[in-house]
Chains A and B, each alone.
Chain A
Amino acid sequence: MPPIVKLLAQRIALGLLLLFLVSILIFVGTIILPGDVAQSILGQSATPEALANLRRDLGLNDPPVARYFAWLGGILQGDLGTALTSGQDIATAIGSRFSNTLFLAFWAAIISVPLAILLGLVAVRYKDRWPDKLISGVTLASISIPEFLIGYVVMYVIGVKLRWFPSVAMINDSMSLGEKLSAIAMPVMVLTLVVLAHMMRMTRAAILNVMQSAYIETAELKGLSGFQVIYRHAFPNAVAPIVNVVMLNLAYLVVGVVVVEVVFVYPGMGQYLVDHVSKRDVPVVQACGLIFAGVYILLNMVADIVSILSNPRLRHPK
């Protein structure tokens, strides 16, 4: 078996193992804690009957291991359980919200990735001059402000003062693509700002790293201009680390999306999760937590696979 296939198989197996362990961790995280879950859901004033009912509904009378495997078995068959608060089937409730979240994250990625790479290249080209300094200054500022505050600043300036876009991002199926895009314009802007900084900084670092190689000096001595050197010689060699950075930041989008959805009242997974954490609806939280963690693990795995594939030493084994 060529080494590349073996490496890929190993990485995918590791991802699956990680997902399994994470499911245990999420399950344990909701039961290992001191005190009675039913009590903390219903509060101190709950009647003993209500407590007993809730314990039965949650299956708290069974041993934890049996409950875990019942839960996992259900998930593998696409049954995420029912929400405690509304009695709704979680899988149906999540379905449309998940696609809304993906829609939002997709557009944020489409805009932020090329922009980050372009600005990273500009920062390298004008290293230590004003464009570079400006870019690193903005980067520092946007790392220092939490996502939700960037959200409100954008909403205040663009939504309320300038009135370019609606300040609440409601979307539904009957809207056309254009209407949807205008509705999510501000959340996309915020998510872009959030991930742009990291991506730009690391793109800059990756290219600067390559710029120290001897072949860059050769290219400069041949008389190529600054951008040509970067575009023809530095960029191709920096692709692997850049793709890695991009994937890690898309994984970071997963977290950003939770907060940004709450800010813009967007009907997605993040808002669903946060709502049900405050309602202490454990099955929903477990299901959403597992899905978010799963997407995160998946993107990290893709990042690793891309960097394996982009390594020529592995693609052409002797």
Chain B
Amino acid sequence: MRIPFAAAVGLSFTAVYFLAAIFAPLIAPYGMAEIVGDVWEPSSAEHLLGTDNIGRDLLSRMIYGGRTTIFIATVATILSFVTGSTLGFLAAVLGGWADQALSRFVDLLMSIPSLIFALVVLSVMPVTTGVLILVMGLLDSTRVFRLARAVAVDINVMDYVEAAKLRGEGRGWIIFREILPNALSPLVAELGLRFIFMVLFVSTLSFLGLGVQPPLADWGGIVKENKDGIVYGIGAALWPAVAIATLAISVNLVADWVLNRTTSLKGGRG
């Protein structure tokens, strides 16, 4: 299997970010909330990216921040996929009023921008990591639901599904042994895009002060903490931009490659 250059670059960058997230305590030169220097020190040999608004090592904060951001985004993506695809497959297999009810409810949820709805819900919820993951994952599962349902409706009329039904297989078999393996490739390609969306979403919420709470670091929060430096020409708040953009572009490159590969296997989209 030859991996195209762009995909290889994307894959290696993605791997670096995930490894850094997993081994953050081993890599980070200083502790996450350890105050090691002056306020907004420029970059030096001891502090490669300088220090932040209260004198913490920015590189360490970025590494720990990546850990939080990637962890939340990953769990929320998994939640969104499990909920969305299970319900989507169910709607496609059940059909009738169950399909109607689920689809119309999803239409309703999607008629509000998810940021606005998340803000409304978070105004009465305690902002903890669990709540964040739950709100983001469930709101985003509407998009996965639509995709999963559309794909499953097509598969559901295939001869092999018909054959399984005639054999007397139950709904569980139809969903997990017939539809799921055939719907996997478009879902996997979508996985990358949803993950990026989650990274952007959690960063935005944290930036607005409604996501990850200090002293825990995350990329959006680092921008919020250091934004006052911008007007004095201190670019500390711009480092998360670099991190998020490179991560997003790498994952996109990988997702593109997966999509191309799986579609060329089948001679068409999906």
Q: Is B204's beta carbon under 8 Å from chain A?
A: yes
Asked if A152 contacts B223 (CB within 8 A), the reply is yes
Contacting pair A254 B241 (CB below 8 A):
no
Contact, CB under 8 Å: A33 / B204: no
Assess whether B240 is in contact with A286, with CB atoms less than 8 Å apart.
no
Stretch of B51-59, B83-91, B114-122, B156-164 lying at the A interface:
B114-122
Q: B230 and A276: CB pair below 8 A?
A: no
- Flag whether B113 is at the interface (Cβ < 8 A): yes
Which B102-136 residues sit within 8 Å CB-CB of chain A? 108-109, 111-113, 115-117, 119-126
B207–A148 contact, CB under 8 A? yes
B116 to chain A: closest residue by CB:
A292
B223 surroundings in chain A (CB, below 8 A): 148-149, 152
Using an 8 Å CB-CB cutoff, how does the interface string of B223-239 with A read, 1 for contact, 0 for none? 10001001111010110
Cβ-defined contact, B204 with A30, below 8 A: no
Min CB distance A260 to B, Å, is 11
Contact of B244 among A40, A149, A293 (CB under 8 A): A149
Q: Is the CB–CB distance between A140 and B249 below 8 Å?
A: yes
Q: Which residue of B lies closest to A38 (CB)?
A: B124
Q: For the complex, give the distance between the alpha carbons of A37 and B27 in Å.
A: 42
Contact B117 A149 (CB under 8 A): no
Considering the complex, give the chain A residue whose CB is closest to the CB of B246: A144
B254 at the interface (CB under 8 A from A): no
List the B side residues contacting A110 at CB < 8 Å. Answer: none
A200 to B87, CA, bound (A): 34
Given known A-B contacts A145-B245, A146-B203, A259-B204, A289 and B119 have beta carbons under 8 A apart: yes
Minimum CB–CB distance from B171 to chain A (whole Å) comes to 30
Assess whether B121 is in contact with A296, with CB atoms less than 8 Å apart.
no
B200 at the interface (CB under 8 A from A): yes
Does any Cβ of A come within 8 Å of B48's Cβ?
Answer: no
Max count, chain B CB within 10 A of own CB: residue among A25, A29, A282? A29
B112, B115, B119, B241: the one contacting A149 at CB < 8 Å is B241
Main secondary structure of the interface of B (DSSP, over half): helix
Tell me if A109 counts as interface (CB < 8 A to partner B). Answer: no
Contact of A156 among B196, B209, B230 (CB under 8 A): B230
Q: A256 CA to B243 CA in the complex, in Å?
A: 21
Centre residue among B120, B210, B233 by max chain A CB count within 10 A: B120
Tell whether, in the assembled complex, residue B120 and residue A289 are in contact, meaning their CB atoms are under 8 Å apart.
Answer: yes
Query: Quick one: which of B122, B126, B227 contacts A152, CB cutoff 8 A?
Result: B227
Known A26-B120, A285-B119, A289-B120: A167·B230 in contact at CB below 8 Å: yes
Q: Does B183 contact A (CB under 8 A)?
A: no
Nearest chain B CB to A36 CB, angstrom units: 10
Q: Are A153 and B113 in contact (CB under 8 A)?
A: no
**A30 contacts B108, CB within 8 Å?**
no
Which residues on the B side are within 8 Å of A150 (C-beta)?
Answer: 241
Q: How far is the CA of A155 from the CA of B233 in the complex (A)?
A: 10
Residues of A within 8 A of B200 (CB): 146
B120 in complex: contacting residue of A29, A159, A255, CB < 8 Å: A29
Q: A251-274 toward B: CB 8 Å interface, digit per residue (1/0)?
A: 110110011001100000000011
Min CB distance A161 to B, Å, is: 7
Q: Is A147 an interface residue (CB 8 A)?
A: yes
Q: Does the CB pair B208–A274 fall under 8 Å?
A: yes
- List residues of B (123-178) whose CB comes within 8 Å of A's CBs: 123-126
Contact of A280 among B108, B115, B124 (CB under 8 A): B124
Q: Which of A25, A41, A141, A153 contacts B112 (CB 8 A)?
A: A25
Tell me if A262 and B230 are in contact (CB < 8 A).
no
Over the window 12-42 of chain A, the binary record of Cβ atoms lying under 8 Å from chain B Cβ atoms (1 yes, 0 no) is 0000001001100110011101010100110
Cross-chain contact A152 with B237 (CB below 8 angstroms): yes
Instruction: Please tell me if A300 contacts chain B, counting CB pairs below 8 Å.
Output: yes
User: B124, A40: Cβ atoms under 8 Å?
Assistant: yes
Among A146, A292, A300, chain B packs the most CB atoms within 10 A around the CB of A146
Cross-chain contact of A258 among B111, B115, B124 (Cβ < 8 A): B115
Q: How far is the CA of A296 from the CA of B116 in the complex (A)?
A: 10
Q: Is the CB of B204 within 8 A of A148?
A: yes
Alpha-carbon distance between A159 and B227 when the two chains are bound, in angstroms: 13
Q: Which residue of B lies closest to A161 (CB)?
A: B233
Interface string of B176-208 (1 = CB under 8 A from A): 000000000000000000001000100110011
Q: List 27 A-B contacts (CB under 8 A).
A: A25-B108, A26-B112, A29-B120, A29-B121, A40-B124, A140-B249, A141-B245, A145-B241, A146-B203, A146-B220, A146-B244, A148-B203, A149-B238, A149-B245, A152-B237, A152-B241, A155-B231, A160-B230, A167-B231, A251-B113, A254-B113, A255-B113, A273-B116, A282-B123, A292-B113, A293-B117, A296-B112
Which 3 A/B pairs are nearest by Cβ-Cβ distance?
Answer: A144-B248, A149-B241, A285-B123
Report which A residues bind B (CB closer than 8 A).
18, 21-22, 25-26, 29-31, 33, 35, 37, 40-41, 140-141, 143-150, 152-153, 155-156, 159-161, 167-168, 251-252, 254-255, 258-259, 262-263, 273-274, 276-278, 280-282, 285-286, 289, 292-293, 296-297, 300
Q: Which residues of B contact A (CB under 8 A)?
A: 108-109, 111-113, 115-117, 119-126, 196, 200, 203-204, 207-210, 220, 223, 227, 230-233, 235, 237-238, 240-241, 244-245, 248-249, 252
Q: Beyond A26-B120, A33-B125: 16 further Cβ-contacts under 8 Å?
A: A33-B121, A37-B124, A40-B126, A144-B244, A146-B204, A152-B230, A152-B238, A168-B231, A254-B113, A254-B116, A255-B115, A259-B115, A277-B119, A282-B124, A285-B119, A300-B111
